[in-house]
Amino acid sequence: MTGSESASDRALIIHPVPSGADASRAEARLEEAAGLAIALGLEPADTLIEPVRKLEAGTYFGKGKLETLHARIEALEVKAVIIDTALSPVQQRNLEKCWQVKVIDRTGLILEIFAERARTREGRLQVELARLTYERSRLVRTWTHLERQRGGRGFLAGPGETQIETDRRLLASKMAKLRRELEQVKRTRALHRTRRQAAPWPSIALVGYTNAGKSTLFNRLTAAGVLAKDMPFATLDPTVRGIRLPSGRRVLVSDTVGFITDLPTELIAAFRATLEEVREADILVHVRDLADPDHEGRKADVEEVLGALECGPAHGQPMIEAWNKIDCLDEAARDDMVWAARIASAKGKALVQPVSAVTGEGVADLLAVADAALGADDAVVSVVLEPSETEISAWLHEHGEVTAERTDPETGRTEITARLMAADAGRFAARFPKAAGRRIAGADTVD
């Protein structure tokens, strides 16, 4: 052990594989757990994949496995053990008693990282609510060694609260206060969303597994300068920026919190206000790290979380897959990936675009794909405008893509053809009914 490493920041990381569970992703899960530990400032002293033949209700592991792991813990002189699964409060407490070290399960580990990364008031409120929800379940029988406190005054008083009841009441009070504050945040966010929808500009939400490169791609698209680091959960607080697509269409792009395998339910509940940006988006861009050996497994994890949020293709929400980090692939792997993307798109399985958020390669094509997807329901409006109707011409230029424009030098009248979103075409007809009625003969028009 070096001078810079103490037992307090060294941890043993264990990924248990219960009997009958899919073991094909065990190595990837173990590597991810080690990355999460490092993100929290812990030094992995060792990493283990442990098969578990039978789950013990009280300790998770059987007696023999407990003893073997205890010996390993003592040999490594660590003060913390990370179990890459969700432990019950009883299991966590019993393991700590048995091994005499701090035991952190997957949920607790992710919550700690979220707590460190949250920057905005909203993010801190969401994480704190999730943490208290998690800790409340950990109070089970924690304080049974304390005597029951007396309530009221003197010998006439009946028994009062136990320490656990006091703690539960205090936690419940804190959680109620946090929920009220988050409800206010939710109302404010909903108000902002309503204003954006009234603009109205379509929205694109970047989703994907944590550390897939969403924030880097977001910065590439918007020049927003948000934090983008090679570490899990670099982004917790959503950012929204406006950009223009190749057609001139203005859209809003939002960067969102990354998903992860077995994302704690406490976090999904706490971050629901934030994740509503995903649910309300017109198109999702699923940013995938194609340099990750387990990228197919990560895709399934993201789809599972999207399903829990009731969004994504299964719920009628269009999605584009941005196959990111092609700059990290060798030439052969890169060629295979490009062909796989073409085949997937040609067969209609998915809209796929290979990109490198770092170099910018493929990003223009991604914007074109998004533009075409948003324009699938566009309407073409072709009208004749009088010389005095400059306001109408300006409106069409601002809200749509003007594809043709010709002014008659003798009459001063202008023939103009513009592509509009379906909603804007309706607004145009309602706002300028006379102009909408002057159609160019033979042109496709929309009432």
- Taking only the tens place, the pLDDT of each residue in 344-373 is 877 776 789 999 999 999 999 999 999 888
Torsion sign (Cα): 231, 236, 239, 245? positive
In 10 A of CB 153, how many CB atoms? 7
β-bridge pairing 379-385 and 414-420: antiparallel
DSSP 56: B
Closest CA relative to residue 180, chosen from 119, 125, 115? 125
Q: What is the pLDDT of residues 36-46, one digit of tens each?
A: 898 888 899 99
pLDDT at 12 over 90: yes
Tell me if residue 216 falls in helix, strand or coil.
helix
Q: What is the pLDDT of residues 310-352, one digit of tens each?
A: 888 888 889 999 999 999 999 999 999 989 888 887 777 678 9
Alpha helices in 138-244, H assignment, sequence order? 163-198, 214-222
Closest CA relative to residue 236, chosen from 260, 252, 220, 201? 260
Q: How far is CA 72 from CA 9, 46, 134, in A?
A: 17, 9, 29
Q: What is the pLDDT of residues 97-142, one digit of tens each?
A: 999 999 999 988 888 887 777 666 777 787 788 888 787 777 644 4
pTM of the predicted model over 0.75: no
Are the C-beta atoms of residues 373 and 283 closer than 8 Å to each other?
yes
For residue 65, which phi and psi values (nearest 5 degrees)? -65, -35
Residue 53 burial (CB < 10 Å; 0-12/13-18/19+)? Answer: exposed
